[in-house]
Structure 1
Amino acid sequence: MSPMSGKTALVTGASSGIGQAIAKRFADDGARVYITGRRQEELEAAAKEIGPNAVPVPSDVSRAADLDRVMDVIRGDGRRLDTVVANAGLGDGSLLSQVTEEQFDYVFGVNTKGSLLTVQKSLPLLSETASVILLASSTIHQGADRMGVYAASKAAVRSLGRTWAAELAPRGVRVNVITPGPIATPAIARLADRLGHSTEDFHGALASTLPLRRMGRPEEVAALAAFLAGPESSFITGAEHFVDGGQIQV
């Protein structure tokens, strides 16, 4: 039997990159996976790539009404949620002197409020022993140039993970945080472009700072998510798990 056979998962921000890789791993492991993203065409293409176990529900995690609709779809299918992955996120790439109020609100709206709304709206559907997984970033542990607003929004997610782990423990629900380092995703490519670098050069510069001397792959983050979603991690909650090539701990 597949590891997640008969289980139901929700993965936000699954149109590409880490979210898509996590959703595909869950689907390959037998789960029914509801995936979200703001751009319908890209989301449907991702669902096709993931396979028949993927259900695309276009939505913006910064909007409570959109997440209510996502939960209505899941509820309407007669399902509860065994795993929730709050992955949807975006960066700013701006210096302190360049950050605008609108930019701050946008980044925190998706990364922090979006994570809060995703988990909050999922609460009535969470099964016993459900696993909630939040995505942070290694930038929360460094003073990375141009990453101030992004890092702060992800640091808040890490903090929320601790609180929610305590609050949901009486229900048997576990909450853990995955902190990726430099992962080769379309988002990193877009950041490289905004900063005036080629993707190859940007990857090389990032990899040169890591003990393992290479970029990570989305599938490597997905492997950890699969572990945290399963019973073998049943005594792990409130923790931060690094997938960063040794960037922070070494």
Structure 2
Amino acid sequence: MTSTNQTAIVTGAGQGAGTVIARKLASRGINILVADVNETTSQKVVQELKDDFGVDAVFVKTDISIEEDVRNMVQTVVDRWGRLDWACNNACVVEAMALDEDNVTTEQFDRMYAVNQRGNWLCQKYECIQMRSQEPRPVTLFPSSRTVMQRGAVVTISSVNGNTGAGLPGYSAAKAAILSLARTGAQFYGPYDVRVNVVSPGPIAHDGFSRWLETQSPEIVKFIEGTTSSTPLRRQAYPEEVADTVNWLLSDGSTFITGANIICDGGLLAARF
């Protein structure tokens, strides 16, 4: 794989869909910063990115709810590679979920917001500040050969729950906030040729999700199973399918897409609403 000299941050890249997103971007020759709290799995991902795609990759231990961690994450990209072209904010917490507000504690709700809302806002903020400050990159449009300028693009992972508010109040509320953050970010940073978008998947079929589901209450399991069975495609998304959507938004094929919420749910919302 020939390096493009482009760079990307993927948070939560030490496992699950985050790893697949990182691999998808690396397959284009993009150097990857793997940001995660799990050093063991993340270092394995870093080595695989180097071995499989010939790119440069680095792990930075990052709790996105801690502002200094996020600043250090972005600064590491700049110190190592000189600029930040792409960012996927995928990290989130999904523990301690409940279907009704009666069973959500204040501590659980605060933790959901600290990571899933505030943490993703911190990522978007510092990523966009860096992108705005760097030189624009010319992109030639085919077949006209017109040229547009791009400084960078950010994608944050929300959820279909953030679009409906149906059940899981702490999780859904935090994921809904991501939609508003992306819209305001798109408006503010658009004049600087920085794009900000959201991908909203339904349940994603991967080992981490399966292990998590085994720890949940029967009510949560029934809720997830009902979601899958009511999806028109009658299955959960595979991580590769979500990664393909992110990959398009973090590419020169989507230069006029910003402030968008791309729903990757197999038709679930169309069927329900």
Task: Provide the TM-score with structure 1 as the length reference.
Answer: 0.91
Instruction: Give the structure-2-normalised TM-score.
Output: 0.83
Distance 1:204 1:132 in 2: 31
> CA-atom RMSD, angstroms?
2.2
* Structure 2 residue corresponding to 1:93, chosen from 93, 97, 115: 97
Q: 1:209 to 1:218 in 2, by over 3 A?
A: same
Structure 1 portions without partners, runs of 5+: none
C-alpha distance in 1, partners of 2:179/2:165?
16
Q: For residue 132 of structure 1, what is the aligned residue in structure 2?
A: 154
Task: Measure the CA separation in 1 of the matches of 2:21 and 2:62.
Answer: 18
Query: Contact 1:180/1:221 (CA < 8 Å) preserved in 2?
Result: yes
**Structure with max Cα Rg:** 2
The alpha-carbon deviation at position 188 of structure 1 amounts to: 2.6
Q: Tell me, in whole angstroms, the C-alpha distance in 2 between the residues paired with 1:244 and 1:76.
A: 37
**C-alpha distance in structure 2 between counterparts of 1:190 and 1:153, whole Å:** 22
3-state SS in 2 of match to 1:219: helix
The separation in 2 between residues aligned to 1:71 and 1:208, in whole angstroms, is 40
Residue 193 (structure 1) aligned with residue 214 (structure 2) = yes
Q: 2:69 aligns with which of 53, 61, 66?
A: 66
Query: What secondary structure sits across from 1:90 in the alignment?
Result: coil
- Alignment partners' CA distance in 2, 1:29 and 1:13: 20
Q: Distance in 2 between matches of 1:169 and 1:27?
A: 26
Residue 106 (structure 1) aligned to one of 96, 111, 126: 111
Matched with 2:128 is: 123
Cα deviation for residue 106 of structure 1 reads 0.9
How far apart, CA to CA, are the structure 2 residues paired with 1:188 and 1:216? Answer: 12
Query: Which residues of 2 match residues 150-169 of structure 1 at below 5 A?
Result: 150-169=171-190
**How far apart are 1:205 and its partner, in Å?**
4.3
Match of 2:144 in 1: none
Of the candidates 109, 128, 142, which is equivalent to residue 164 of structure 2?
142
The residue aligned with 2:141 is: none
> Is the CA contact 2:202–2:237 (under 8 Å) kept in the aligned structure 1?
yes
Distance 1:165 1:213 in 2: 33
Residue 141 of structure 1 aligns with an amino acid whose one-letter code is: N
Q: Structure 1, residues 87-106: CA drift from partner, whole Å, max 9, x if none?
A: 11112312311211211111
2:42 counterpart residue number: 43
CA distance in 2, matches of 1:149, 1:236: 29
Runs of 5+ consecutive residues of structure 2 not aligned to the other structure: 137-149
- The CA distance in 2 between the partners of 1:206 and 1:49, in whole Å, is 34
Q: Would you say 1:247 and 2:250 are equivalent positions?
A: no
Aligned to 1:27: 26
Q: Which runs of 4+ in 1 moved over 4 A?
A: 200-205
Q: Displacement of 1:49 after TM fit?
A: 3.3
Kept after mapping to 1: 8 A contact 2:7/2:81? no
2:191 is matched with 170
Question: Is the 1:136–1:158 Cα contact (8 Å) retained in structure 2?
Answer: yes
